A and B are shown apart, each in its own frame.
Chain A
Amino acid sequence: MGSYIGILALMGLAVVLCAVFATISWLLGPKRNTTYKNAPYECGVAPVGDARERFPIKFYLVAIIFILFDIEVVFLWAWMTVYKGGTVEFIKFTFFEFLAFMSTWVLGYAYILKVKAIEWDEPEALPSEIQEAA
């Protein structure tokens, strides 16, 4: 058996505990539902409209930039474990490879800073387009 069996056991236990808590919360406590009690909380007034509103695209942008940078790091994890213990040739060769890889990272980062992709106060258009509009 691989060592991952411990992880599986831990997750199984966690799932069992979660199930126990779900069951307890279902069993215990009174259940007297009324319309007003079950209304969504909106500071005491009757809820207006649908709660599932659309939201700004900034969040989407942050998520996708996160994914791209995250994948860049994932490519490095494996190399990091062998970098320090490698031969001198290996260290020399892979160091410059790493620098080349990181240079695209820095380029990408500079780009998102330049177009203000993660600026929270900015309007949702590219700077060049704002200038054109003005």
Chain B
Amino acid sequence: MKITPDMIVFAMLAGMAALSAVGVVAFRNAVRSALCLVFTFFLLGFLYFALNMEMLGITQIVVYTGAIMVLFLFVIMLLNLGASHVLEEKSDPKKVIGIGFGVSLAVLLASQIVPVLIKVNAPTAPEGFGSPQVIGNVLFTDYVFPFEAVSILLLLGIVGSVLLAKRRLS
């Protein structure tokens, strides 16, 4: 396998994304965790860019970083999660077990994936792959029903969120 500059950029981005993903669970302050998640999503958008999926990457940034994470921050501030140290336990066996499981799972996955990946040549994307034009054509012709179903789903989302937020509990 030949190492191309694209792969180096991809590896850097992926490494940073993984690091900030670790930050999401490592930080005790909920706002900082949310911020790490923002950064992860932001970098994920660039990972899509590196894979020629410009439309998907920018959608990732617009929807997740720009919209959903603002809501996350709102919820964190709404609940006022200031005193997280109350929830902490002194000697927590869960942590050790969790780390053990995580590491073994990573090793297991790596042992299966890495040998295969080394042999594979980087696939070349066809012309215009991932551009908004291609996605627009496909979404509105081949995937009509999923597309219209999504609009119903979003409508349900609006009704549901309004009910959740505005209904008075008797």
A residues adjacent to B (C-beta < 8 A): 1-2, 4-5, 7-8, 50, 52-55, 57, 59-61, 63-68, 70-72, 74-75, 77-83, 86, 90, 93-94, 97, 100-101, 104-105, 107-108, 111-112, 115, 117, 124-126, 129
Interface contacts beyond A82-B136, A93-B140: sample of 9 additional A-B pairs, CB < 8 Å, sorted by A: A4-B46, A50-B82, A66-B67, A70-B62, A70-B63, A77-B59, A78-B132, A86-B137, A112-B158
Contact yes or no, B168 A125, CB < 8 A:
yes
Are B6 and A1 within 8 A (Cβ)?
A: yes
CB distance B50 to A78 under 8 Å?
Answer: no
Q: A8-B46, A129-B167 are in contact. Are A100 and B67 (CB under 8 A)?
A: no
Tell me which residues across on chain B come within 8 A of A72, comparing CB atoms.
151, 154
Shortest Cβ gap from A39 to chain B (Å): 19
Question: Considering only CB atoms, which chain B residue lies closest to A107 in the complex?
Answer: B155
* Interface pair A94/B140, CB less than 8 Å apart: yes
Give the B interface residue count (CB, 8 A). Answer: 51
Quick one: which of B68, B166, B167 contacts A67, CB cutoff 8 A?
B68
Verify B144–A97 contact, CB threshold 8 A.
yes
CB <8 Å contact, A61 and B68: no
Residues in chain B near residue A79, CB distance under 8 A: 136, 139-140
**A126 to B70 CA separation, bound complex (whole angstroms):** 25
Judge if B133 is at the interface, Cβ distance under 8 Å: yes
Are A61 and B132 in contact, with the CB atoms below 8 A? no
Q: Which of B18-26, B71-79, B110-118 contacts A (4 or more CB under 8 A)?
A: B71-79
A–B complex contacts, Cβ < 8 Å, 18 sampled: A2-B52, A52-B77, A57-B166, A59-B74, A63-B74, A71-B67, A75-B151, A78-B55, A81-B136, A93-B140, A97-B148, A101-B147, A104-B155, A108-B154, A108-B158, A111-B159, A112-B158, A129-B168
Task: Given A105-B151, A125-B168, answer yes or no on A82-B71 (Cβ-Cβ < 8 Å).
Answer: no
**Complex alpha-carbon distance, A108 and B155, angstroms:** 6
Q: Are B132 and A81 in contact (CB under 8 A)?
A: yes
Give B contacts to A, CB under 8 Å: 5-6, 9, 46, 49-50, 52, 54-55, 57, 59, 62-63, 66-68, 70-71, 74-75, 77-80, 82, 132-133, 135-137, 139-141, 144, 147-148, 150-152, 154-155, 157-159, 161-163, 165-168
- Which chain A positions have C-beta within 8 A of B68? 67
The answer to whether A74 and B151 touch (CB under 8 A), given A60-B165, A82-B133, A117-B162, is no
Residue from A5, A68, A97, A117 within 8 A of B154 (CB atoms) = A68
What residues on B are CB-neighbors of A70 within 8 Å?
62-63, 66-67
How near does chain A come to B108, taking the closest CB pair, in angstroms?
A: 33
